[in-house]
Amino acid sequence: MYLPRAYPQTVHLLPTQEPIPVPNVAADTQPVVQPSPKVKDNDTKLPWKFPTVQGEPKHPLVHSELQEQPRAAQSIAVKCGENAVQVEVKRDFFGTGQWVDPSSITLGGCAVTAEDPAAGVLVFHSALQGCNSMTRISCLSSVFADDWKFERPSNVYFLGEVMNIEASVTQFHHVPLRVFVDNCVASASHNMKADPRYSFIENHGCFIDGKIANSSFLPRLHDGELQFHLETFQFQQDTALHVQVYITCMLKATPVSSPTDVEHKACSFVTNGWLPADDNQVCNCCNTKCEYSLTFLIAGLQWEAEATIGPIVVLEK
C-alpha cells in the first residue's frame, strides 16, 4: 500500500498482526518502530487517501474555416398543363455569372420560343408530347377477392365462377387521368395471338362477352380505376380437366377533363342493350363499328399500355 511521505513512520496494525519496521527514506539512520496500542475491532480504517490525479491539460480550441461547398444553381423551372408544357431556363445556367448563348440550349431539339431579358430567362413552349418528349404511365390489371378490398390469393377457379378484375393507372405527376379497357383477349399461352384465343372486349370498350355470359363493367367509382366481372370459361379445344388462361388487355388513359367518345368508353351488354360505366351515351356503336376519331390523336392526349394477368386455372365442377 502506498503511504505518503508526510505521514508518521508508524502504522496501526490489526490485532492479529505484529508491528513491522517501515524504512524512513528521508533519514540516513534506521529508526525503531514503536508498537502502537491495539485498535478496537471496529477501528479498521487506515489514515491514507488517494493521491491527487492531475487532470488532462485542456487543449486550446482551434477555429478552422471550411470552404463553403458550391450549391447547385436553380436554373430550370417547369410548368405542366393538360396538353402543353412551359420550361424556363436561367441564362446564368451554371450559377457562375456567365450567361449562356440561347442558341446553345434546346428542348428536345426545339429552339427557344421566348426570352425575358430583364429576368435573364429563356422560355420554351411545347406540346405535352412535342419536342421528342416521352410520357410514361403505369397501367396494370389485378384479380380481386369478392369484396374488392384485397387481391385474390389463389388463381384457381371453377368453371362458371366470376372473376373480379380491375384495371388501374398510376398517376405519377400527370394531370388526373381516366383509364379505359380498349380490348381484351384470353389465350391459352402468353402469346395472345396464338390459338386458341377468345376476344371478349372489342370495338374500343364493348364487353361483348356479356351477350352470352355474366360479364360486365361495374359503374366507375374512380377515374383512375375500372372494374369488371368476367365469367370463367374453358377453351373447347382443351380436353384436360383444367386449363390455364392468360388475359391480355390494352389499356388507355386520357385526362379527366377530356370528354369520352366512341374510342374511349366502357360499355356492358345488359337486357338487350348497351349500358355505359360512365355517364355518357357513346355505346350505340357497339353493335356496329365505332367510328375512328382523330381528336385524341391530334392533341396527343392519350397514353396506352398492355397488361397481362395469369395464368388463371379453371377447373371442372
199-217 pLDDT, tens digit each? 999 999 999 999 999 999 9
Rounded to an integer, what distance in angstroms lies between the CA atom of residue 245 and that of residue 188?
5
What are the sequence ranges of the domains in the chain?
A: 76-127, 138-315
Q: Give the pLDDT score at 269.
A: 93
User: Residue 312 to residues 191, 201, 226, 232, 307: CA-CA distances in angstroms?
Assistant: 15, 18, 20, 9, 14
Please state whether the predicted TM-score (pTM) of the whole model is above 0.75: no
Question: Which portions of the chain are predicted below pLDDT 70?
Answer: 1-73, 82, 129, 134-141, 172-174, 237-242, 280, 292-301
Q: What type of residue sits at position 257?
A: S
Q: Give the pLDDT score at 274.
A: 92
What class has domain 76-127? mainly beta
Whats the size of the chain, residue-wise?
317
pLDDT digit string, tens, across residues 100-133: 888 888 888 889 999 888 888 999 988 876 787 7
Largest distance between two CA atoms of the chain: 132
Q: Give the pLDDT score at 13.
A: 41
Task: Note whether 124 and 133 are within 8 A (CB).
Answer: no
Q: Give the pLDDT score at 302.
A: 76
Q: Give the pLDDT score at 156.
A: 92
Task: Note whether 311 and 244 are within 8 A (CB).
Answer: yes
- Residue 276: its H or E element: strand 273-276
What class has domain 138-315? mainly beta
242-255/177-187 β-pairing: antiparallel
Cis bond before residue 311 (omega within 30° of 0):
yes
Domains 76-127 and 138-315 share a fold: yes
What letter does residue 118 receive in the DSSP assignment? T
